[in-house]
Amino acid sequence: MIKISPSILSSDYSILGAELKRMEDCGADMLHIDVMDGHFVPNITLGAPIVKCIRKSSSLPFDVHLMISDPYKYIPDFAKAGSDIITFHYEADSDIDETIDLIHSLGKKAGLSIKPKTPAEVVFPYLDKLEMVLVMTVEPGFGGQSFMADMMPKVSAVRAEAEKRGLDTDIQVDGGISGSTIGIAAKAGANVFVSGNAIFSSDDAAATISEFKAIAGE
C-alpha cells in the first residue's frame, strides 16, 4: 500500500497546527515528524512536548523519526505524547532489541532507520520484529537535500528479504522525494514516502500528493 508522509520539517512552524490540518485535508496518509537532538545529527528540531501539543491538530498517524543518540531513554515520552510509529536509528547508542521491545510494550509500531553509509543487511536480524524499515536517501539532519539514487539497492535488498520471510513490512524512504524520484524509489521496493519541500511548497498540495501516489503505484 502506497503511503505519503509529509515531513513537517518543511512546514511553517508559526502555523503548525493549521499546516497539519492542511496535509490531512490534502490526502496525506501520515505525518512525518523529525526529532533531532543536535548530537546524533547536526541540527535541533523539537521534542515530545511539541508532539503532545500538535496531536490534537490531526487524526493522522504520527510517524516520528528519532534522530537522537539515546532513543531508548526518550521513547516513553514520545509514546505518551501521541506518536503512532516510532523509528530510531541502527547507528544510535541504544540496544536495538530492547528498544524495539520497549516501543511495542507501549502499544506503538516500531521502525528502524539506516544512514546512507550503513549496509541494508544490518536490519535483517530485527526484520521479523519491525513494522517499518526506513532507508535514508540523504544524510540525516537537514531538509532540502538531493535524492541519493545509489541507496536504491538497499531498498531492494530489504524488500527482497522481507518477501522471502513472508513479511509485509513497510519500507520507507526519506530525503529528496519528488515527482521525479518517487517512481525510482517505488520500483526499488519502497511503499512509504517522506516528502517535505515538494509537498509543503506546492501551490496545490492535494494535487501533488495525488500525483505522487499515482506515480508510485504505476
Please report, as a single letter, which amino acid is at residue 48: A
Which burial class, exposed, middle or buried, applies to 146 when counting CB atoms under 10 A from its CB (0-12, 13-18, 19+)? exposed
Question: Which residues are CB-neighbours of 40 under 8 A, at least 6 positions away?
Answer: 67, 68, 69, 89, 91, 92
pLDDT tens, N- to C-terminus, the chain (218 residues): 999 999 999 999 999 999 999 999 999 999 999 999 999 998 999 999 999 999 999 999 999 999 999 999 999 999 999 999 999 999 999 999 999 999 999 999 999 999 999 999 999 999 999 999 999 999 887 666 789 999 999 999 999 999 999 999 999 999 999 999 999 999 999 999 999 999 999 999 999 999 999 999 97
- Give the predicted TM-score (pTM) of the model: 0.95
- For 132-152, how does the pLDDT look when each residue is reduced to its tens digit (9 = 90+)? 999 999 988 766 678 999 999
For 189, the grid coordinates are 521496493
Residues marked as catalytic? 34, 174
The torsion angles phi and psi of 174, rounded to 5 degrees, stand at -145, 115
- For 72-104, how does the pLDDT look when each residue is reduced to its tens digit (9 = 90+)? 999 999 999 999 999 999 999 999 999 999 999
